[in-house]
Structure 1
Amino acid sequence: MKRYDKHFKEEAVRLVVELGRSVATVAKELGIHENTLHKWVSQYKEHKENAFPGSGNLLPEDAETRRLKKMIADLQEENAILKKATAIFARHQK
């Protein structure tokens, strides 16, 4: 699958959004599928300057979600360790 950089996507979207050109015309001129350009336009309209974060990068809200999920997993692991330790200490106190 061919990959396009952020600049290419932004320029393609700009031709449609700012200059009012049709998706079909721009897609044909750039040699990309119309559905691909429709998707890029939708992503741009939803995320504006955060659209097209690049390979391996996340949108800011996705990065925050990932960070919070990791924090929850870490806390759950710490909680499980503390429960086991409490059970061990309770057995030794009897």
Structure 2
Amino acid sequence: MLRDRERRGVAPTASRAGEAAPAGTGQPAPTADPDERIRQLEARVAELEASERKLATERDILRKAAKYFAGETNW
């Protein structure tokens, strides 16, 4: 189950209050500097927007392919 969460990019929840997430979970480490935190969050937003564009493109390609191949069948 932990591997599935890591593969999907979901950070595991801490088992005890105040316990930090393990390193390598994809989440930015909390910093005391608010400007650094803002930069980290802006970078994460840019990463997620790029991923969203890629997924939308892939979805559109698959829809077009499904439509094409549906028209190719001669039942």
TM-score calculated relative to the size of structure 2: 0.50
Which structure has more RCO (C-alpha within 8 Å, separation ≥ 6)? 1
| Structure whose residues are more often helix by fraction | 1
Higher Cα radius of gyration: 1
